[in-house]
Amino acid sequence: MVFEHLGYSVYQVLQQNSYSGFSAEIIQNLSIQVLYAMIFLKSEGIIHSDLKPENIVFNLDANSDIVKLVDFSSACFEGGKLYYLLLFTL
C-alpha cells in the first residue's frame, strides 16, 4: 500500500502554537473544505464517525492550507453496522 505523505493535523498545529487558534480567514477556509468533504461522504452514503481536529490533516506543502479528512477506521455506510471502541478503566 502506498499513501501520500501528509503534514500536521489541525490539533497538532494548535498545540504547537500554544492553542492560540487560527485567523478567521483560515477557519473559514478549513470549514469550507471540511463541509465539502462531508457533502461528498453524504453523497456516497458514508458516515465518518470520528470527525475531530486530529483527523483533519494539512497538506505537506508548508505554503498550503489544503486539508484532508483521514482515519476512516470507524466509518460505515448509512444503514450499516456502526462499531464503537469501548474503553474501560479499572
Confidence at residue 24, expressed as pLDDT on a 0 to 100 scale: 95
Residue 84 within a domain: no
Residue 65 is a catalytic residue: no
Residue 31 within a domain: yes
Confidence at residue 65, expressed as pLDDT on a 0 to 100 scale: 83
Cβ-in-10-Å burial (0-12, 13-18, 19+) of 57 comes to buried
Residue 15 pLDDT class (50, 70, 90 cuts):
very high
CA torsion through residues 64, 65, 66, 67, sign: positive
Confidence at residue 48, expressed as pLDDT on a 0 to 100 scale: 92
pTM of the model: 0.81
Structural domain boundaries enclosing 16: 6-77
| pLDDT tens track for 25-77 | 999 999 999 999 999 999 999 999 899 999 999 988 766 789 999 999 888 89
Using CA atoms, how far apart are residues 80 and 21, in angstroms rounded to an integer?
A: 36
CATH code of the domain covering residue 29: 1.10.510.10
- Among candidate residues 50, 61, 65, 71, the one labeled active-site is 50
Residue 64 within a domain: yes
Residue 61 within a domain: yes
H or E element, residue 56: strand 56-59
Number of domains the chain is built from:
1
Residue 68 within a domain: yes
Residue 86 within a domain: no
Cell of 40: 461528498
